[in-house]
Amino acid sequence: MTQVAYGTSVLGLLGIVLVILLLVAWWALKSKHVLKPIRAILACLVVIFVLAVFWVEWKFQPWMPAGRAVQLSRERIGDYDVQVWQRKNAGLSEPFATALFIRKQGGEWRAFLLDFEDTYRPSVNLRKENSGILVLRDNSRWGHFDEAREVLQRDSNGSEVDGIVINANPPGNWWLRQSSMP
């Protein structure tokens, strides 16, 4: 099943469940045989379900086509232009890939794969640090870009990533070449 077909199936199934829930709630609100506390509980459950559906749809973006890239941030930190992008993957598990693009002003862009994500638009913050740029994810230290050596060091395992040079503005073709990134 393709990603688009899967996304459509999920949306359709959630829509059917929502319609059934709304019909039951409508019947309960109109029926004189159902007690008021039960009506209130049912109405609360419908509201909670609707909000949960919207939250799930936002986090997983099943309608977004595979390969589409979205810019999460763009800033200048010291002598560097820095951008963070997220791309929708074709797979069902970890449907997003997040990358850091960085270049010294006037130089070439380098792409670093930060992580594969389960949700849309993770919180990635960048901050100038003594010898480079600190990468924070959800306010926790994720890694560090060393300006002198132009490598990204991951805090989780201490590995260093050289990144790949792209010959275009971000996101360029980084997703086509991601297999060369560890």
User: Could you report the per-residue pLDDT of 72-105, keeping only the tens digit for each?
Assistant: 999 999 899 999 999 887 776 667 889 999 999 8
Q: Give the domain-ending residue among 21, 42, 60.
A: 60
83 and 126 both lie in a single domain: yes
Q: pLDDT tens, 120-148?
A: 778 899 999 988 999 998 888 999 999 98
Residue entry with tokens 């810019």: 71
* 32, 60, 88 - which closes a domain: 60
| 31 SS3 class | coil
> For a pLDDT cut of 70, what percent of the chain falls above it?
82
Higher local confidence (pLDDT), 5 or 173: 173
Q: Tell me the residue range of the domain where 40 lies.
A: 3-60
Q: What tens digit of pLDDT does each residue of 169-182 get?
A: 888 877 665 533 44
The mean pLDDT value of the chain amounts to 80
Verify that 127 and 162 share a domain, yes or no.
Answer: yes
Q: Is the pLDDT of residue 9 over 70?
A: no
CB atoms within 10 A of CB 22: 13
- Whole-angstrom CA distances from 17 to 6, 12, 45, 143, 144 are 17, 9, 13, 42, 45
**Angstrom distance (rounded) from CA 111 to CA 74:** 14
Distance between the two ends of the chain, CA-based, in angstroms? 28
**Are 7 and 26 in the same domain?**
yes
